[in-house]
Structure 1
């Protein structure tokens, strides 16, 4: 099944209001741009204000429920960009070992402290900035978790090839993405994070949105379908598989060759 987001295909004067001016600024950050430099200093403030509040947390938690349908009991699991591992409450069983992987040491410390009380052996691995390679051997993990991360990664195909490489045959890729590129997500951002950026920073949202979310949801799901076998794809808050009408898409894919 193919999913389409139509809002980002609207005429440029409309789509750039919802999804940034991609024709002008592209998908790769200009590291010398003042907006990007300020973002690197304020991204954690943004996370706390927009993702840890009632609305943001409600949206994020909706995506974590997919974990209950995963197969992680007694398995080796890697999480890319673990955050505070908010999905622990949905675990269907205890994994054998958990590895947290992130580009930020402070966030890895948060993840390690959150998982420690579960008694699951765990490790924190710091990512090398700018590297498209995952520092793990082939077929190292039974499952890879990635929540609200694939929309950030460019180029995406290189990253998916690495996930495929480190998964064992039949291993699961479990995660969620925002319905970026859809009407509901773009409109919701107008009322939340765009307002916060305008009020609390001098960051230009038309630049930042392009650089922070280079991948639209329909593109991500298409690339996942091309690389893995689909087990399930779900949407929230509506059950209907319409990117434009939803805020979150959750999924479980399986590595081919099981």
Structure 2
């Protein structure tokens, strides 16, 4: 009950300028990250590819952004036809459709019920998404509903938010770029974006999913303070 009481997390509404900056920076950051920080990007997307279940056909990617993950996939015609990518931002979905017109892209909120049958997906991907969700418990329940209980997997990549290494890396990357681009403080933006830390995320996932494998980057040791990202693959509990 104590854990549930903080959900959903509530923040003051954005001003029109802040809303524009938020949408603009998320799109811009998705362009900058692969160009300037390719090694991190390779871990983020490569992890999900390496842990795809054998013979999968149907994929759901939440928080798809501009479709960067699809650059790392090698999909058959059937897998592309059954690839569903969703994002809450229209400008990101529009960018994905331009890059990959042969996959299904929708504006949708993974924290609410989505228009798919129970157990519809063999694979669910959440690459740097769960740390952003103010109603994380509802998102986890929905992903569990949609994941095939017999052979499906949930592949997640999250930042080591709150860790020393991650905080230092952000200072010289995203924060520096944001301040230069918009001439203002980064704190209001990140304070309502990275709102969930790894311990909170795992606490919500584990009642519904069982950890199958994990990988820490860049140091292969299960520690938050010295790493930037964690890849996790889960099997749904019955």
Q: Name structure 2 gaps, 5 residues minimum.
A: 1-8
Task: Write the mapping of 1:1-258 to structure 2, written as runs, cut at 5 A.
Answer: 28-33=10-15, 36-44=18-26, 46-48=28-30, 50-55=32-37, 57-66=38-47, 67-71=49-53, 73-88=55-70, 90-91=72-73, 94=76, 95=79, 97-115=82-100, 122-127=103-108, 132-170=112-150, 171-257=152-238
Checking the alignment, whether the CA contact within 8 Å between 1:136 and 1:166 is kept in structure 2 is yes
Report the Cα distance in structure 2 between the residues aligned to 1:72 and 1:93, rounded to whole angstroms: 12
Greater mean alpha carbon deviation, residues 170-179 or residues 247-256: 170-179
Report the Cα distance in structure 2 between the residues aligned to 1:100 and 1:196, rounded to whole angstroms: 27
Aligned length: 226
Greater mean alpha carbon deviation, residues 35-44 or residues 208-217: 35-44
Greater mean alpha carbon deviation, residues 235-244 or residues 69-78: 69-78
Greater mean alpha carbon deviation, residues 104-113 or residues 172-181: 104-113
Report the Cα distance in structure 1 between the residues aligned to 2:195 and 2:70, rounded to whole angstroms: 28
Report the Cα distance in structure 1 between the residues aligned to 2:189 and 2:10, rounded to whole angstroms: 10
Report the Cα distance in structure 2 between the residues aligned to 1:89 and 1:223, rounded to whole angstroms: 30
Report the Cα distance in structure 2 between the residues aligned to 1:102 and 1:74, rounded to whole angstroms: 22
Q: What's the offset of the Cα at 1:210?
A: 1.6
Q: What's the offset of the Cα at 1:115?
A: 4.2
Note closer, same or farther for the CA distance 1:69–1:92 as it changes in structure 2 (3 Å cut).
Answer: farther
Report the Cα distance in structure 1 between the residues aligned to 2:160 and 2:41, rounded to whole angstroms: 12
Tell me: higher relative CO, structure 1 or 2? Use CA pairs within 8 A at least 6 residues apart.
1
RMSD: 2.7
Q: What's the offset of the Cα at 1:105?
A: 3.3
TM-score by length of 2: 0.82
Checking the alignment, whether the CA contact within 8 Å between 2:25 and 2:178 is kept in structure 1 is no
Q: What's the offset of the Cα at 1:256?
A: 1.4
Q: Name structure 1 gaps, 5 residues minimum.
A: 1-26
Report the Cα distance in structure 1 between the residues aligned to 2:122 and 2:192, rounded to whole angstroms: 31
Q: What's the offset of the Cα at 1:133?
A: 2.6
Report the Cα distance in structure 2 between the residues aligned to 1:221 and 1:131, rounded to whole angstroms: 17
Note closer, same or farther for the CA distance 1:163–1:180 as it changes in structure 2 (3 Å cut).
Answer: same
